[in-house]
Structure 1
Amino acid sequence: MKRSCSTAMLLACLLINPALAQEGDAESGNAVYRRQCASCHQVAQPRNGVGPNLQGIIGRPAGSVEGFNYSAAMRDSGITWTPETLDTFLADPRAMVAGTRMMLRVADEQQRLDIVAFLATQVVPQ
């Protein structure tokens, strides 16, 4: 499977939360992402769609992708995306950030862990 991140970056992502990294499967997460997320979010290109692009989301402040029109709630949330915050957000976006435009909830814990593992491999190309 082709990965779009360096080994050092992947290791850094996995060290952020080893429990989430061990439980999530990036390959399965890619499949779930394509089914549930790709219609709104890009990872292959730094292009925004209905939602902001998700390249390099781990470690990025919420509401910070240039050119995307975020809700005030997301811009002002103070969140930095980590595996934990992504998992919580995907479980119930509106409970975490009241006023967000994100509507999709991923109820299945394993699917969330897999999506997070996949997103951890998606870094901004250099």
Structure 2
Amino acid sequence: MIRAALLFAALCAATSHAQAEASLERGQTLFQTKCAICHNSEAAAGHAVGPNLHGVVGRKIGSAEGFGYSAALAGSPETWTPERLDAFLESPAANRPGTAMPFSGLKKAEDRQALILFLQSLSTKE
């Protein structure tokens, strides 16, 4: 009985790891197809049309040095948490009225979570 429980736990852990890897890959694909047209993700890449998103998770909103934010984001006292990113990525204009970001959002929660997982990975890669 104990052996079966250990095997089940190992299977769950392996499945969880595989799912996390798949989500991370999905997030990277989403970034490349939906975000990279306006945003860079490498630490030394600088800004593009939008701010560089390397290290965005945990960064104060509207604070990437050298980027000119719209009033909707500039001066915000909040930090980009996974929860705030989730709400923003669902509908940027509804979440931050007046934002200059011309993106309609990601409607599927699993897509937003995968993208956030990828964004979280950016600050730990280098």
Q: TM-score, normalised by structure 2?
A: 0.75
Verify: 1:55 aligned to 2:54, yes or no: yes
- Pairing 1:27-46 to 2, within 5 Å after superposition: 27-44=25-42, 45-46=44-45
Deviation of residue 46 (structure 1)? 3.6
Give 5+ residue unaligned stretches, structure 1: 1-21
CA distance in 2, matches of 1:85, 1:25: 19
> In the TM superposition, what whole-angstrom CA distance separates every residue of 1:45-100 from its partner, at most 9, and x where no partner exists?
44101100001011101110111110012113333101110010000111111111
Is the contact made by 1:28 and 1:114 (CA closer than 8 Å) also made in structure 2?
Answer: yes
Identity %: 39
- Pairing 1:38-117 to 2, within 5 Å after superposition: 38-44=36-42, 45-104=44-103, 105-117=105-117
Larger radius of gyration: 2
CA distance in 1, matches of 2:120, 2:100: 23
2:84 maps to amino acid = T
For CA contacts below 8 A with separation 6 or more, give which structure has more relative contact order.
1
Is the contact made by 1:29 and 1:111 (CA closer than 8 Å) also made in structure 2?
Answer: yes
Q: TM-score, normalised by structure 1?
A: 0.75
Match of 1:25 in 2: 23
1:38 maps to amino acid = A
CA distance in 2, matches of 1:78, 1:102: 19
Number of residue pairs aligned between Structure 1 and Structure 2: 104
